[in-house]
Amino acid sequence: MKIAFNIVVFVFIIIIGIVVMSTILSSVFDISLFKRPGGSTEGILRSDDAGETWEIKGVVKDDRKKDFARMTVTDIVFEPKNPETIYLITQGDGMYRSEDSGDIWGQLGNENNGLHPNATIFDIAIEETNRDKVYITVSQGTRGQVLKSIDRASHFEEIYVAAVEGELVHAVAIDRHNPHTIYTGTSSGLLLESSDQGDSWRTVEEFSSGVLDIILNPQDTLQLYVIRAGGFVSKSVDKGVSWVDLDLPSAPTPTGPPEINFFPTRGGSGSFTSFSLNPASPSHVFVVSGAGIFESSDAGETFEEIITIIPSGSLPIRSFAVDPANSNIMYLGVEGKMYKTLDGGKSWQIKNIPSVSNVSQILIDPSNSERIYIVLSK
């Protein structure tokens, strides 16, 4: 009888211990935060084996109720030459940084450092030779701003503000060969340049539609691409003295929500989802349009379609990335799946992810191509 009683007590203690530990763990890592109704994972996932398996990342220290599953992520970028550090910017939820490859994140904005914690941040640029210098374009009032930090995003100061109320500043870029030169672009179509890191500005060009993104050829920064609202890409080979509009390819209109377009959080619209350069060979250009992907080997003069296994008229491609170490390896993100090619698009593999959500961002570690981050969104 005594033995039976002791067994009952022992089992009871174990059950209580399990309940207590479960409560403690859930208070630290609230996994339900990464689920939406129906059990689909959202937020940030990391793979350390080139997309074979995935882990949920994205715990925000000091505020476990903040999570990326409930945020609209505008962009996610590595700190130059230090891929363990990642910056993440959002629409309406501020800016975050992880210094341990995405395991733990900290919010960078507060009421006293110049960046509001609920700011919408459209773009970020980090100086390659001095990572303390960080530039962001933000909306946290009635006019868009460019903010600059010289202490690795601990404090920010305004270096540009839009001329009229309601005008947004969408893009910022740094000339890697001359980091004193900064470019920014506004929703009214202004492309601006500063040659003194934001102390003064001049108008390079006034386009007929808003500037959504600015891409500089990393090997020859005289060559600029400006991504514009309406699905336009303007190119200059003389640092903005003259411009031509690229004749972009198009694919059959995909099914799905009509608001899917290039940088919807930046007010964009048009027929393509992504425009990017091959990091190893910048004259090698990629355009994702609808459910199709196209490449150019002559800096956008001509394009050829890369045949995928995504049916025409299917849901649109939401994200695209090229392996920095091998441009034959590419990834496409759609709803609930990733597609991977090892041979430049001749054949494709389907990589399942633990979610039916959209793969809205893909980021490949430049020092370790096995490590991939994806952002999942509704």
Question: In angstroms, rounded to a whole number, what is the distance separating the alpha carbons of residues 35 and 352?
Answer: 17
What pLDDT sits at residue 198?
A: 98
Within a domain: 152: no
Within a domain: 32: yes
Buried b / exposed e along 40-75 (16+ C-beta atoms within 10 A): bbbbbbbbeebbeebebbbbbeeeeebbbbebbbbb
Q: Which of 100, 103, 33 is nearest to 70 (CA)?
A: 33
Within a domain: 230: no
What pLDDT sits at residue 219?
A: 94
pTM, two decimals, is: 0.86
Q: Do the Cβ atoms of 372 and 47 come closer than 8 Å?
A: yes
Q: What residues have CB less than 8 Å from 62, skipping those under 6 apart? A: 106, 107
Within a domain: 146: no
What pLDDT sits at residue 372?
A: 98
Within a domain: 192: no
What pLDDT sits at residue 190?
A: 98
Q: What angle do CA 262, 264, 265 make, to 5 degrees?
A: 130
- Domain extent, residue 1, equals 1-36
Q: Which of 294, 288, 296 is nearest to 333 (CA)?
A: 288
Within a domain: 65: no
What pLDDT sits at residue 76?
A: 96
Q: What is the full per-residue pLDDT of the chain (378 aa) written as tens digits? A: 555 555 544 545 554 544 444 443 333 334 333 444 344 467 899 999 999 999 999 888 877 677 788 899 999 999 999 999 999 999 999 999 999 999 999 999 887 899 999 999 999 999 999 999 999 999 999 999 999 999 999 999 999 999 999 999 999 999 999 999 999 999 999 999 999 999 999 999 999 999 999 999 999 999 999 999 988 999 999 999 999 999 988 755 555 444 444 555 565 555 567 899 998 899 999 999 877 899 999 999 999 999 999 876 667 888 999 999 999 999 999 888 899 999 999 999 999 898 888 899 999 999 999 999 999 987
Within a domain: 167: no
What pLDDT sits at residue 39?
A: 43
Tally of domains in the chain: 1
Q: What residues have CB less than 8 Å from 14, skipping those under 6 apart? A: none
Within a domain: 10: yes
